[in-house]
C-alpha cells in the first residue's frame, strides 16, 4: 500500500497518554519517510486532558484536537482508539459521542486499531460483534462486561487481529500493535526501522503476554 493513509485519532477526557503517544510517535517517525495525514477528533475543539474525574488530583496534560466528531474529515482510513480511565464514564457525553462516532465511521475504515480499554468503546459501538479481541489486562473483566458479550475476548494476547480490527492489550502494547500494523502495511524493514529509531525492543509475537498472568487471567 504505497498511497498516503489518513489516520484519525479519537480523544476523550481521561485518555491514557501513552495509549496515544506510543502509537502516534511510531506514526510520527513513519511519516518522515512515508507521507501520512493525521486528524485528531473529539467531542470539542477545546484542549483534551488526560485527567480522569476518577483521579482528580493526578497530574495531567492537554492536547489539542483538529476536528470534532460532528465535522470529521471525509477520508479517514485508519481510526486509532486509545483507552484510559475516561472510558469508565460510559454514560458521559464525551464517551457517548465517541461510541456513536466509532459506530458511524467504522464501515468506511480500512483499519481500526485500539489500545487498552479503547476496545471497550469499540465493543460498545458494536463493531467487535462476533470478533476476537483483547484489552487492558487489569481491566479485562470490567471491559468484557461493558456490552462486550458478543465479543470473543482473548486474555493472553499482546494484540489480536480479526479482519481489519487490530486490538491490543494495555498501554505500552499499543506500540507493539502499531509496529506490527506498520510491518503489515509498509513491510517488516520499515517497521524495524521505526522501532530502532525509537530504540524500542518490539514484542513480535502477538501471543507473548506476561501480563495476563500478572493480573490472574490464566
> Which residues make up the interface to a second copy (CB under 8 A)?
7, 16-18, 20-22, 24-25, 27-28, 31-32, 35-38, 40, 47, 50, 55, 57-64, 136-138, 169-173, 175, 196-201, 203, 210-211, 214-215
Report, in Å, the least distance between residue 86 CB and a second copy. 12
Q: Nine-digit cell at 17?
A: 497518554
In terms of CB distance, is 56 or 107 closer to a second copy? 56
Q: Is 126 left (phi over 0), alpha (psi -120 to 50) or beta?
A: left
Annotated catalytic residue within 116, 128, 157, 182: 116
42, 65 contact by CB (below 8 A): yes
Taking the C-alpha atoms of residue 119 and residue 29, their distance in angstroms, rounded to an integer, is 25
Report, in Å, the least distance between residue 167 CB and a second copy. 14
Residue 156 CA, chain-centre distance (Å), reads 18
Contacts of 74 (CB under 8 A, 6+ apart): none
Kind of pairing, strands 67-68 and 62-63? unpaired
In terms of CB distance, is 35 or 163 closer to a second copy? 35
Report, in Å, the least distance between residue 141 CB and a second copy. 16
In terms of CB distance, is 100 or 185 closer to a second copy? 185
- What is the greatest pairwise CA distance in the chain? 46
Which of these, 166, 111, 23, 13, lies nearest to 154 by C-alpha position? 166
In terms of CB distance, is 47 or 187 closer to a second copy? 47
Active site residue 26: no
10, 98 contact by CB (below 8 A): yes
Report, in Å, the least distance between residue 126 CB and a second copy. 26
What are the catalytic residues?
A: 116
Amino acid at each position: 500500500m504505497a498511497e498516503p493513509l489518513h489516520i484519525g485519532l479519537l480523544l476523550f477526557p481521561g485518555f491514557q497518554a501513552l495509549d496515544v503517544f506510543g502509537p502516534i510517535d511510531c506514526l510520527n517517525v513513519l511519516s518522515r519517510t512515508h507521507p501520512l495525514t493525521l486528524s485528531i477528533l473529539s467531542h470539542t475543539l477545546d484542549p483534551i486532558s488526560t485527567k480522569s474525574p476518577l483521579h482528580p488530583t493526578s497530574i495531567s496534560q492537554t492536547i489539542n484536537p483538529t476536528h470534532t466528531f460532528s465535522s470529521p474529515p471525509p477520508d479517514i482510513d485508519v481510526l486509532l482508539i486509545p483507552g484510559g480511565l475516561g472510558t469508565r464514564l460510559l454514560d458521559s457525553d464525551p464517551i457517548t459521542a465517541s461510541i456513536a462516532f466509532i459506530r458511524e465511521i467504522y464501515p468506511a475504515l480500512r483499519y481500526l486499531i485500539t489500545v487498552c480499554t479503547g476496545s471497550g468503546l469499540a465493543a460498545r459501538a458494536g463493531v467487535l460483534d462476533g470478533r476476537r479481541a483483547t484489552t487492558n489486562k487489569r481491566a479485562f473483566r470490567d471491559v468484557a462486561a461493558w456490552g462486550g458479550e458478543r465479543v470473543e475476548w482473548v486474555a493472553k494476547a499482546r494484540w489480536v487481529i480479526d479482519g481489519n480490527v487490530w486490538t491490543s492489550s494495555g498501554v505500552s502494547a499499543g506500540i507493539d500493535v502499531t509496529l506490527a500494523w506498520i510491518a503489515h502495511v509498509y513491510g517488516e524493514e520499515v517497521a524495524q526501522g521505526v522501532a530502532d529509531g525509537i530504540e524500542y525492543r518490539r514484542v513480535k509475537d502477538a501471543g507473548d503476554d506476561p501480563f495476563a498472568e500478572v493480573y490472574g487471567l490464566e
